[in-house]
């Protein structure tokens, strides 16, 4: 073993004459561990939120939508057959999307009406898993049934079997006036997607009923697609756009349709990463003050080694090793603690709530049963690298100070 490494390890293990230096070393180690653990935990929680939001949105929305320029598609079956030739496309379902007003017992609410084929819709969305009452298959052609989001049903104060009046914005033109188009629909189901935008404004009806109500004949608004890997949506959308280039069609994917949600989470995650990285930096640079005190305490030892022929670079290496070992131990402790905490938040959070007697997480407020967490190895590696680099940088100045010690000056009063 090189004597520089040997001396650095001995300085780490040795009991110092100055107990305050040992205390500062301990504080530096646990401060770095705490900062790293907090950073890993917060990033895991942000990843969990992003995954949960993505799951809830894509449980109702589609990975890719193919629509016409005028929001109408004449031969949707031909388009569906064409896009299904792409190996990444697993399912396709036509839909009709229009706006309407829903009225029940003097209460009126705006809604986005989506006409669907229940059997095909199950292939591209998860409505069947989110049903709180009734079934999606209860939507029958000509039956004029409607499945409402749970918040929309609460706002209208309707129950299963109630009849709501749907008011279409396209009116009937008569010699006397333009009359609104009205149709009564029976509530046959209620779904809860866990995303307020859909729960409070989406109403599902059979596609044939929607075509009849909005006078679309056999046309639809577009075709919704589900992919094997949702993260391939931008690439597959480009491929489908090139494949359908001869037709006047628009191809959009979920990353564009819901960009604001995911951009907001990404920005928040980046800001939390920067803020907590500063905490790690403060903890890492506590090593600077500790090493400076060690260098001051060991000036006589440094001077003796220099007189025995040790070079300034060797003296610098001794204290780099010491600081790196102390920082590395704190870094490994923080990574292990952060991973364990992030992986067991479902146990830790209820335990803290029980101890302090305060609810830290309410499923009624956030519509999520427990604090979400997803540990990504890329985040753990990034945090480890940043902590390691900051630790090494923190050792440079004290080590340089050690290499500048003059033996004659240090031993003058010894």
Query: Is the Cα dihedral 399, 403, 404, 410 positive or negative?
Result: positive
User: Most confidently modeled of 3-12, 91-100, 284-293, 344-353?
Assistant: 91-100
Q: What is the pLDDT of residue 337?
A: 92
Residues 287-320: pLDDT tens digits? Answer: 888 888 878 777 787 888 888 888 888 888 888 8
- Binned at pLDDT 50, 70 and 90, residue 20 comes out as low
Confidence of residue 10 (pLDDT cuts 50, 70, 90): confident
Rounded mean pLDDT of the chain? 83
Q: Which two tokens stand for residue 388?
A: 């390691």
The pLDDT value recorded for residue 339 is 92
More confident residue, 361 or 392: 392
Q: Is the pLDDT of residue 14 over 80?
A: no
With a CB cutoff of 8 Å and minimum separation 6, the contacts of 222 are 65, 66, 67, 68, 71, 73, 76, 94, 95, 97
pLDDT at 256: 81
pLDDT of 113: 92
> So what's the pLDDT on residue 363?
58
Q: What is the pLDDT of residues 21-79, one digit of tens each?
A: 677 778 888 888 988 999 999 899 888 888 887 777 777 888 888 888 778 888 888 88
pLDDT digits (tens, 9 = 90+) for 323-358: 888 888 889 999 999 999 988 888 888 888 788 877
Across 82-93, average pLDDT: 89
Q: Mean pLDDT throughout 218-224?
A: 89
Closest-CA residue to 251 (of 269, 228, 275, 227): 227
pLDDT at residue 179 in the model: 66
> What's the rounded mean pLDDT across residues 184-188?
92
Comparing C-alpha atoms, which of 214, 116, 115, 204 is closest to residue 152?
A: 204
pLDDT-derived band at 114, boundaries 50, 70, 90:
very high
Q: pTM of this prediction?
A: 0.73
What pLDDT was estimated at residue 178?
A: 61
Residue 247 pLDDT: 77
Any alpha helices (H) in 59-164, and if so which ranges?
76-83, 118-124, 127-130, 150-156
């Amino acid at each position: 073993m090189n004597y520089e490494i040997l001396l650095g390890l001995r300085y780490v293990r040795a009991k110092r004459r100055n107990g305050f230096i040992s205390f500062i070393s301990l504080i530096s180690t646990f401060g770095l561990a705490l900062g790293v653990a907090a950073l890993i935990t917060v990033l895991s929680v942000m990843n969990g939120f992003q995954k949960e939001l993505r799951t809830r949105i894509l449980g109702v929305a589609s990975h890719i939508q193919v629509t016409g320029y005028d929001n109408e598609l004449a031969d949707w079956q031909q388009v569906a057959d064409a896009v299904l030739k792409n190996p990444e496309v697993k399912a396709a379902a036509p839909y009709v999307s229009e706006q309407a007003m829903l009225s029940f017992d003097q209460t009126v609410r705006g809604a986005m009406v989506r006409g669907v084929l229940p059997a095909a819709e199950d292939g591209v969305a998860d409505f069947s898993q989110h049903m709180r009452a009734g079934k999606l298959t209860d939507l029958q052609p000509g039956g004029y049934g409607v499945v409402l989001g749970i918040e929309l049903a609460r706002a209208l104060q309707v129950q299963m079997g109630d009849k709501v009046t749907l008011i279409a914005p396209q009116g009937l033109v008569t010699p006397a006036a333009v009359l609104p188009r009205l149709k009564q629909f029976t509530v046959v189901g209620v779904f809860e997607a866990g995303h307020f935008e859909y729960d409070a404004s989406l109403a599902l009806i059979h596609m044939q009923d929607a075509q009849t109500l909005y006078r679309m004949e056999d046309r639809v608004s577009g075709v919704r697609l589900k992919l094997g890997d949702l993260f391939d949506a931008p690439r597959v959308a480009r491929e489908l756009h090139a494949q359908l280039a001869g037709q006047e069609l628009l191809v959009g994917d979920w990353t564009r349709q819901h960009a604001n949600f995911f951009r907001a989470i990404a920005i928040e995650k980046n800001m939390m990463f920067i803020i907590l990285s500063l905490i790690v930096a403060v903890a890492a640079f506590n090593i600077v003050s500790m090493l400076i005190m060690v260098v001051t305490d060991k000036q006589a030892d440094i001077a003796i080694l220099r007189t025995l022929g040790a070079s300034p670079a060797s003296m610098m290496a001794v204290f780099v090793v010491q600081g790196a070992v102390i920082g590395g131990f704190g870094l490994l402790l923080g990574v292990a603690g952060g991973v364990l905490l992030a992986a067991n938040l479902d146990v830790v959070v209820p335990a803290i709530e029980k101890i302090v007697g305060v609810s830290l997480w309410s499923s009624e407020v956030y519509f999520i049963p427990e604090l979400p967490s997803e540990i990504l190895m890329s985040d753990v590696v990034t945090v480890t690298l940043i902590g390691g680099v900051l630790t090494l940088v923190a050792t440079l100045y004290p080590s340089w100070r050690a290499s500048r010690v003059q033996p004659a000056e240090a031993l003058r009063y010894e």
